Amino acid sequence: MNDKPVAIIANARHYVGPALARVMADAGYDLVLGDPEPQTIDAVSEAGAANWVVDNVLDLAEPSSAPRLVDMALDAYGRVDSAVFFSGRIVLGKLLDASDDDLSTVVAGNIEPVFRSLRAFLPPMVEAGRGQVLAITSASGLRVTPGAPLYSATRAGANHLVRNAAAEVAGSGVQVNAVGTNFMDFDEFRKATGADDPEMMAKIEKNVPMHRLGTMDEFAQFCRVFLDGTAGFQTGQVVGFDGGWSA
């Protein structure tokens, strides 16, 4: 069996995935990376981490995606100690204007990936009697979010699914937590909100108690404590990482 701990970064291509891969490599983990860019592979290799790549697993609602990541970890290293995943489909608009298709979209984008990932990642950890799973969801699931009722409701459902999973496996020594984000500085957020326009950015920052966007590097460092085994008494929690927006 591999002596080093092993972490699965289910999506190493987008959002906080590349930064998390670097952070966990620096923490001494070997890695299984879902769909990474070449520069991410180079960065973790330079940090001394072995890494195996699984392609075409970005859609965690696809039943085979999360199991393929687990199979790679067990085949390559004989163990899996940590796993982190994220997904999300945003549907905006009033509840009374929502369609059946809108409902199907948010369930498939926000509930199914969490269900399938937990079902895949938890069993080998429970069997081993150790492990950490982190679901990255949305801070919209922590408060009423006008204009996004279906999105925030399914994010809240995902958060509660994490809590229930944590309660089921707590006695086995496995931790399950979630971090809900908002107002993060990444390309998709900037494009969706028009934040590259300084005037629009100023309006956005007024909605954030800390008056700025969060960075991927600081978010990755925040996530590390939920994945590296240093906070072994924390489970079943959903924490906001949103500059105080969900407080």
Domain ranges in the chain? Answer: 6-182+216-241
pLDDT of residue 2: 73
Using a 10 angstrom Cβ sphere, with 0-12 exposed, 13-18 middle and 19 or more buried, the burial of residue 39 is exposed
pLDDT of residue 159: 97
What span, in angstroms and rounded, lies between the C-alpha atoms of 1 and 72?
Answer: 14
In tens digits, the chain (247 residues) has pLDDT values of 578 999 999 999 999 999 999 999 999 999 999 999 999 999 999 999 999 999 999 999 999 999 999 999 999 999 999 999 998 888 888 999 999 999 999 999 999 999 999 999 999 999 999 999 999 999 999 999 988 999 999 999 999 999 999 999 999 999 999 999 999 998 888 887 888 999 999 999 999 999 999 999 999 999 999 999 999 999 999 999 999 999 8
Between the two ends of the chain, the Cα-to-Cα distance in Å is 43
Q: What is the largest CA-CA distance in the chain?
A: 55
Percent helix, strand and coil across the chain, each to the nearest 5: 45, 15, 35
pLDDT of residue 14: 95
pLDDT of residue 195: 87
What span, in angstroms and rounded, lies between the C-alpha atoms of 195 and 204?
Answer: 7
Determine the CATH number of domain 6-182+216-241: 3.40.50.720
pLDDT of residue 88: 87
Question: What phi and psi, each to the nearest 5 degrees, are found at residue 155?
Answer: -65, -40
pLDDT, one tens digit per residue, over 56-78 is 999 999 999 999 999 999 999 99
